[in-house]
Chain A
Amino acid sequence: MEKQGLELEITELRLGLPGGGDNKINEKKRVFSDISADEANATNDDRKIHTKSQVVGWPPVCSYRKKNSFNEKDRLETSKMYVKVSMDGAPFLRKIDLGMHKGYSDLAMALEKLFGCFGISEALKDADSSEFSPIYEDRDGDWMLAGDVPWEMFIESCKRLRIMK
Chain B
Amino acid sequence: MIMESKRKKESPSSAGSTQFPDEVLERVLAFLTSHKDRSSVSLVCKDWYNAERWSRTHVFIGNCYSVSPEILARRFPNIRSVTLKGKPRFSDFNLVPQNWGADIHAWLVPFADKYPFLEELRLKRMTVSDESLEYLAANFQNFKVLSLLSCDGFSTDGLAAIATHSKNLTELDIQENGVEDRSGSWLSCFPESFTSLEVLNFASMSAEVNFDALERLVCRCKSLKVLKVNKSISLEQLQKLLTRAPQLVELGTGSFSQELTTRQYAELESAFNNCKNIHTLSGLWEATALYLPVLYPACANLTFLNLSYTALQGGDLAKLLVHCPRLQRLWVLDTVEDKGLEAVGSYCPLLEELRVFPADPFDEEIIHGVTEEGFVAVSFGCRRLHYVLYFCRQMTNAAVATIVQNCPDFTHFRLCIMNPGQPDYLTNEPMDEAFGAVVKTCTKLQRLSVSGLLTDLTFEYIGKYAKNLETLSVAFAGSSGRGMECVLGGCPKLRKLEIRDCPFGNEALLSGLEKYESMRSLWMSACNVTMNGCRQLARKMPRLNVEVMKEDGSDDSQADKVYVYRTVAGPRRDAPPSVLTL
Check B66 for interface membership: any CB of A closer than 8 A.
no
- What does the 1/0 interface line of A40-76 toward B look like (CB < 8 Å)? 0001011010101011111111111110111101100
Given A58-B475, A70-B359, verify A142-B552 contact (CB < 8 Å).
yes
Given A60-B416, A70-B311, verify A22-B505 contact (CB < 8 Å).
yes
By the criterion CB–CB under 8 Å, are B93 and A12 in contact?
A: no
By the criterion CB–CB under 8 Å, are A32 and B476 in contact?
A: yes
Q: Which of A2-10, A82-90, A92-100 interfaces with chain B?
A: A2-10
By the criterion CB–CB under 8 Å, are A14 and B557 in contact?
A: yes
By the criterion CB–CB under 8 Å, are A46 and B505 in contact?
A: no
Q: Which of B93, B364, B558 contacts A62 (CB 8 A)?
A: B93
Query: Chain A residues with Cβ under 8 A from B176's Cβ?
Result: 62, 64
Check B507 for interface membership: any CB of A closer than 8 A.
yes
Sort chain A's interface into a size bin: 35 or more
Given A59-B391, A62-B150, verify A152-B94 contact (CB < 8 Å).
yes
Query: Chain B residues with Cβ under 8 A from A60's Cβ?
Result: 92-93, 416, 473, 475
By the criterion CB–CB under 8 Å, are B95 and A57 in contact?
A: yes
Check B358 for interface membership: any CB of A closer than 8 A.
yes
Query: Chain A residues with Cβ under 8 A from B99's Cβ?
Result: 147-148
Given A31-B501, A57-B90, A151-B98, verify A15-B555 contact (CB < 8 Å).
yes
B110 to chain A, nearest CB (A): 24
A72 to chain B, nearest CB (A): 10
Check B526 for interface membership: any CB of A closer than 8 A.
yes
Query: Which of B90, B95, B361, B500 neighbours the largest number of chain A CB atoms within 10 Å of its CB?
Result: B361
Complex Cα–Cα for A149 and B91 (A) = 11
Interface of A is mostly: loop
Complex Cα–Cα for A16 and B357 (A) = 41
Query: Chain A residues with Cβ under 8 A from B294's Cβ?
Result: none
Check B481 for interface membership: any CB of A closer than 8 A.
yes
- What does the 1/0 interface line of B191-215 toward A look like (CB < 8 Å)? 0000000000000100000000000
Q: Which of B245-253, B262-270, B315-323, B527-535 interfaces with chain A?
A: B527-535
By the criterion CB–CB under 8 Å, are A65 and B357 in contact?
A: yes
By the criterion CB–CB under 8 Å, are A105 and B180 in contact?
A: yes
Complex Cα–Cα for A73 and B92 (A) = 22
Query: Chain A residues with Cβ under 8 A from B536's Cβ?
Result: 4-5, 8
A149 to chain B, nearest CB (A): 6
Query: Chain A residues with Cβ under 8 A from B181's Cβ?
Result: 102
By the criterion CB–CB under 8 Å, are A63 and B92 in contact?
A: yes
Query: Chain A residues with Cβ under 8 A from B505's Cβ?
Result: 22, 25
Query: Chain B residues with Cβ under 8 A from A119's Cβ?
Result: none
Check B96 for interface membership: any CB of A closer than 8 A.
yes
Q: Which of B93, B359, B418, B530 contacts A63 (CB 8 A)?
A: B93
Check B309 for interface membership: any CB of A closer than 8 A.
yes
By the criterion CB–CB under 8 Å, are A57 and B93 in contact?
A: yes
Kindly report which residue of chain B lies nearest to residue A29, judged by CB atoms. Answer: B526
Complex Cα–Cα for A142 and B327 (A) = 54
Kindly report which residue of chain B lies nearest to residue A47, judged by CB atoms. Answer: B362
Complex Cα–Cα for A23 and B479 (A) = 11
Query: Chain B residues with Cβ under 8 A from A29's Cβ?
Result: 501, 526-528
Check B168 for interface membership: any CB of A closer than 8 A.
no
Check A117 for interface membership: any CB of B closer than 8 A.
no
A163 to chain B, nearest CB (A): 19
Given A13-B557, A46-B363, A62-B150, verify A33-B421 contact (CB < 8 Å).
yes
Query: Chain A residues with Cβ under 8 A from B286's Cβ?
Result: 70
Given A46-B363, A74-B362, verify A25-B476 contact (CB < 8 Å).
no
Check B578 for interface membership: any CB of A closer than 8 A.
yes
Complex Cα–Cα for A2 and B511 (A) = 9
By the criterion CB–CB under 8 Å, are B204 and A64 in contact?
A: yes
By the criterion CB–CB under 8 Å, are B555 and A61 in contact?
A: no
Check A153 for interface membership: any CB of B closer than 8 A.
yes
Given A70-B359, A152-B94, verify A63-B557 contact (CB < 8 Å).
no
Kindly report which residue of chain B lies nearest to residue A33, judged by CB atoms. Answer: B421
By the criterion CB–CB under 8 Å, are A32 and B421 in contact?
A: yes
By the criterion CB–CB under 8 Å, are A5 and B506 in contact?
A: yes
By the criterion CB–CB under 8 Å, are B362 and A54 in contact?
A: yes
Query: Chain A residues with Cβ under 8 A from B150's Cβ?
Result: 62, 64
Check B571 for interface membership: any CB of A closer than 8 A.
no
Check A1 for interface membership: any CB of B closer than 8 A.
yes
A153 to chain B, nearest CB (A): 6
Complex Cα–Cα for A102 and B95 (A) = 18
Kindly report which residue of chain B lies nearest to residue A53, judged by CB atoms. Answer: B364
Check B553 for interface membership: any CB of A closer than 8 A.
yes
Check A106 for interface membership: any CB of B closer than 8 A.
yes
Contacting A at CB under 8 A, from B553-582, are 553-558, 578
Kindly report which residue of chain A lies nearest to residue B129, judged by CB atoms. Answer: A125
By the criterion CB–CB under 8 Å, are A61 and B506 in contact?
A: no
Kindly report which residue of chain B lies nearest to residue A126, judged by CB atoms. Answer: B99
By the criterion CB–CB under 8 Å, are A144 and B93 in contact?
A: no
Query: Chain B residues with Cβ under 8 A from A43's Cβ?
Result: 362
Check B115 for interface membership: any CB of A closer than 8 A.
no
Kindly report which residue of chain A lies nearest to residue B204, judged by CB atoms. Answer: A64
Check A140 for interface membership: any CB of B closer than 8 A.
yes
By the criterion CB–CB under 8 Å, are A150 and B359 in contact?
A: no
Query: Chain B residues with Cβ under 8 A from A71's Cβ?
Result: 359-360
Contacting A at CB under 8 A, from B458-494, are 473, 475-476, 481
By the criterion CB–CB under 8 Å, are B95 and A56 in contact?
A: yes
Query: Chain A residues with Cβ under 8 A from B420's Cβ?
Result: 32, 55, 58
Contacting A at CB under 8 A, from B361-416, are 361-365, 391, 416
By the criterion CB–CB under 8 Å, are B554 and A26 in contact?
A: no
A79 to chain B, nearest CB (A): 15
Kindly report which residue of chain A lies nearest to residue B527, judged by CB atoms. Answer: A29
Query: Chain B residues with Cβ under 8 A from A2's Cβ?
Result: 507
Complex Cα–Cα for A14 and B341 (A) = 51
Q: Which of B418, B503, B556 contacts A59 (CB 8 A)?
A: B418
A-B contact pairs, 11 of them (CB 8 A): A2-B507, A9-B506, A12-B532, A22-B507, A25-B528, A28-B555, A32-B476, A57-B500, A64-B176, A66-B361, A74-B360
A residues lining the B interface (CB < 8 Å): 1-2, 4-5, 8-9, 12-15, 22-23, 25-26, 28-33, 43, 45-46, 48, 50, 52, 54-66, 68-71, 73-74, 102-106, 138, 140, 142, 144, 147-153
Across the A-B interface, give the 6 residue pairs with the lowest CB-CB distance, nearest first: A57-B93, A64-B176, A46-B362, A22-B505, A150-B94, A8-B532
